[in-house]
Each structure stands twice: as structure tokens, then as C-alpha cells.
Amino acid sequence: MDNFLLSIIIPVFNEEQNIEPLVKRLIPIVKNFSYEIIFVDDGSKDKTVVNIKKQTFKNKNIKLISFYRNFGHQMALTAGYEIAKGDCVITIDADLQDPPEIIPQMIEKWQKGAKIVYAKRSEREGESFFKKITATFFYQLINLLSDIAIPREVGDFRLLDKQVVTFLNNLNERQSFLRGLVSWGGYPTEFVYFKRDKRLTGKTHYGFFKMLNFALEGITSFSVKPLRIATYFGFMSGIFGFLGIIYELIRKAVSPQSFVIGWAGLFTAIMFIGGIQLITIGIIGEYIGKIYQEVQKRPKYLIREQINV
């Protein structure tokens, strides 16, 4: 297939300095195809929107949707998928950490039949040791706990066939852990490798707690294993307690005169069980919270403005 439409979705949140360099680097690569570039402004507070508008006036293939407020990276991507008309749809970060130069390779793999082409990081530059460690831990944990396999060192830089985009758009759920949803379908998948550069300007929006929340979101969206682990904890402490009672009964029968010692043991046991109980309630709470949000059925995002769409 030579005659196809390529959609590029770019979520942006306070990236004013990166818009022009990104467009300059992207256009020479996509101009050989029929293309649309969709910027999704996730409630930026700086000149991001102004700078995107300049581009949309110059080039009608560049489009903008902008949100009333910050709804989050995943929601921005979701909005992009809902608007994109392309036969294949590529999502890419605005900070030029994802090199647009590998887009033709991704398209080639798609044309050979892949429905999903992930850009996989073979190297990360300019990211802190801490970020690398937490990222590794995140992938390990999520693959251990969840029921789907999420490929490692793969972010949100990927190509999806129209069929996969339609699948995503038809999902009737609010949670938007896209990396999980994309791999859940089991569509034929390919990889293209790249070296992850430094951010062009600005700094990451994903700090420690945001990463942690993202990880929890991913795990609880794709697995009920934490609930099962909570149940096992309950069984374990129950069995311990039961054995303790038997032990005490036997001791009382064998040597009734022995007196009570072991305050420290008692204290640690209470703290330990108390901790497990709180964690367990927290785990249940996570899932109840998710059910609550699904039931509320609030819109995922609100669009303030659209240009060239």
C-alpha cells in the first residue's frame, strides 16, 4: 500500500521551546507521505499553544486540539487517537527525546504486516541513574504482577495500525494505561531500535511520585493479583495465629506454672499484622476507587479549541 494517510500525535504540556525545532525536524521526514500532525495541548500554561498556532496557520496538515486543563499525558494520547484519521498512527513526545528519523523504518515494518511497531530504547542518554533504575523496576513489577506482557524499554513512541486505534477508541473504559491496553490485544508486533536522547529543553514531567502512581495505575488496571496476595497474607497470618493457640494450649497442659514473657514479640506481631491489614485495605481501596471512577462516567477530557481538525 503506497497510498495511505499517516497521523502523528504529539502530546504537549509546557513545551513552548520545543515546538518549532520539532516541526522543523519532522516535516522533512513526513513530507513524502500524506500526513497529518496532531498536537494535543494538555492545558499548557506557557506559550505552547501560541507557538503551535503559528505552525497551524502555515501548514494545514498541522492540527491542534487543546484541553481546558491538564488531563495527563495518557488522556492527551487518547484524545489524539480519537481524532486521528490515519491508516497508521504514530505517537511521539514533543521534547525530541524520540527521534523522528526512525519513522520511515516504523512505516516499513507496518507495511510488511505489523499492526503495532514499538520504538524500543537501546540506550538512554541524559537521564538520571535514578530514572533508569525506577523504569527498570517498573517494567519488572508490572510484568510480574499483571496478566499481560508489556515490552520493556518501550514508552509511548509507537506506530499503531488503524485497526488497533479503532479497538482502543471502542473500549468502554475510563482507565487509560495505553501501554497495557495496546499490548492486551495481542496484535502482530515489531520493534525498531533507537537511542533515547536528552530532552531538548525543559525538564521531565514525570517525577518520582508521578511514576509511582503511573505504575500503580498500570498494575491495578491489568491485574487483580494484588487482591489475591492480600488473601494469601490473610491465610498466612491466620495459620500462624492458629498454631500459636495450639502451642499455648499444649504449654498450659504440660507446664501450667510457666509464666508469660515476650512483650517485644507481642508488640512486633501486632505491628506486623496491623501493617498487613492496612496494606490490604489500601489494595481493596485502589480497586474500589477504580470501580467508582468507571461508574461516574465523567468525560476523559474537555476540549477548549480545535484548529484544522
Residue with cell 465523567: 298
Q: Does 11 bind ligand UDP (CB under 6 A)?
A: yes
Contact map string, positions 24 to 43, toward ligand UDP, x by CB under 6 A: ------------------x-
Among 76, 88, 116, 283, binds ligand UDP (CB under 6 A): 76
Give the footprint of ligand UDP on residues 180-209 (CB under 6 A): 204-206
**Contact status, residue 65 vs residue 82, Cβ threshold 8 Å:** no
Confirm or reject binding of residue 15 to ligand UDP (CB under 6 A).
Answer: yes
70 binds ligand UDP, rule: CB under 6 A: yes
Residues 308 and 56 sit within 8 Å (Cβ to Cβ): yes
Interface with ligand UDP includes 233 (CB under 6 A)?
A: no
> Of 39 and 115, which CB lies nearer to ligand UDP in the complex structure?
39
Q: Produce one character per residue of 109-134: b if its CB has 16 or more CB atoms within 10 Å, e if not.
A: bbeeebbbbbbbbeebeebeeebeee
Member of 97, 175, 220, 221 binding Mg ion (CB under 5 A) = 97
42 part of the interface to Mg ion, by CB under 5 A: no
All three cell numbers of 261, joined, read 514473657
Q: Please count the residues of the chain.
A: 309
Question: Could you tell me which stretch among 30-38, 61-69, 94-102, 232-240 binds ligand UDP (CB under 6 A)?
Answer: 94-102
Provide the edge-to-edge strand list for the sheet that holds 154-161.
189-196, 116-124, 154-161, 88-91, 5-12, 34-41, 62-67, 303-307
From residue 309, alpha-carbon distances to 35, 70, 193, 210 in Å are 13, 20, 32, 31
Chosen from ligand UDP, Mg ion, none, partner binding at 206 (C-beta under 5 to 8 Å by type): ligand UDP
Binding residues for ligand UDP, rule: CB under 6 A, are 11-13, 15, 42, 70, 72-73, 76, 93-95, 97, 204-206
Binding residues for Mg ion, rule: CB under 5 A, are 93, 95, 97
